[in-house]
Amino acid sequence: ETWRIRVVKTRCESSNLPNSFNGYRIVLIGGLHLRRISGWTRRIQDQIQRLNPDILLIGGNVKATHRSGNESTHELLSRFLEPLDPPGGILAVQGYRDRKKFWEELPEESRIELLSTSHKTIDREGGRLTFLGIQTAHASHLDRGINQLREALEPLGSGDYRILVGQSADLLRVAQGQPIDLILAVDNLHYQIRIPGWGVPRRDTKVPYSWGPGWVKEGLLSLYLNPGLGTRWIPFRFFYRPEITLIELTKK
């Protein structure tokens, strides 16, 4: 499945969405695990350009391995993003692989804005769309993630449409009871391989086995879970195709 990139187009309808953001187009990718610029990465670039997004979200795990050099991966990421220039910019959250100060050492000329217990607000004709990201989002640190989300939310006023971005389905548990409208996450740590008759080899998550890529709802919150694009540990995917997701926000 590794080369069979699929593009999923979906909508999120909400009465809370400001009218000025009706039709806003978000492209969500992640789990790139960049090793080189190749035909595979150029196909991803081409597909994203065809989707004509208002903003591009990168759900973590840019580095191929923990040991991958920061400088060399920064160069690969810069080349990958070079032809991509959405008007709302490029936002990212850190992933499991993005360690050893990968994001802290990002070159100053980079066009990426990191969401790390922080937010970015886009104003349009009186409406406000806010993207949030936290440092910790997986099962081993749910309490820490909840505290970080509260910290990221603290400076925000009322009336924003708030989207939480991350690299784990556990965000749906982290955000319960918080003023969040939508969650967008990428997780190829658990959704790279599916074994027929058994399921997904998993670790470090508390989400139910029934949760999989696509829309998941718990309580009043909805999550879109993207299974990522690249591979980790083993260089192939099994019963989980790499995915680029277009989420169009619509006013209910």
pLDDT at 131: 98
The 3-state secondary structure of the chain, one letter per residue:
CCCCCEEEEEEEEECCCCHHHCCEEEEEECCCCECCCCHHHHHHHHHHHHHCCCEEEECCCCECCCCCCHHHHHHHHHHHHCCCCCCCCEEECCCCCCCCCCCCCCCCCCCEEECCCEEEEEEECCEEEEEEECCCCCHHHHHHHHHHHHHHHCCCCCCCEEEEEECCCCHHHHCCCCCCCEEEEECCCCCCECECCCECCCCCCCCCCCCCCEEEEECCEEEEEECCCCCCCCCCCECCCCEEEEEEEEEC
In CATH, the architecture of 6-251 is 4-Layer Sandwich (3.60)
pLDDT in tens, the chain (252 residues): 666 889 999 999 999 999 999 999 999 999 898 989 999 999 999 999 999 999 999 998 888 888 899 999 999 999 999 999 999 999 999 887 787 789 889 998 999 999 999 999 999 999 999 999 998 655 456 677 888 999 999 988 788 999 999 988 889 988 999 999 999 999 766 666 666 776 666 656 667 666 778 999 998 999 999 988 977 666 656 567 899 999 999 999
pLDDT at 182: 98
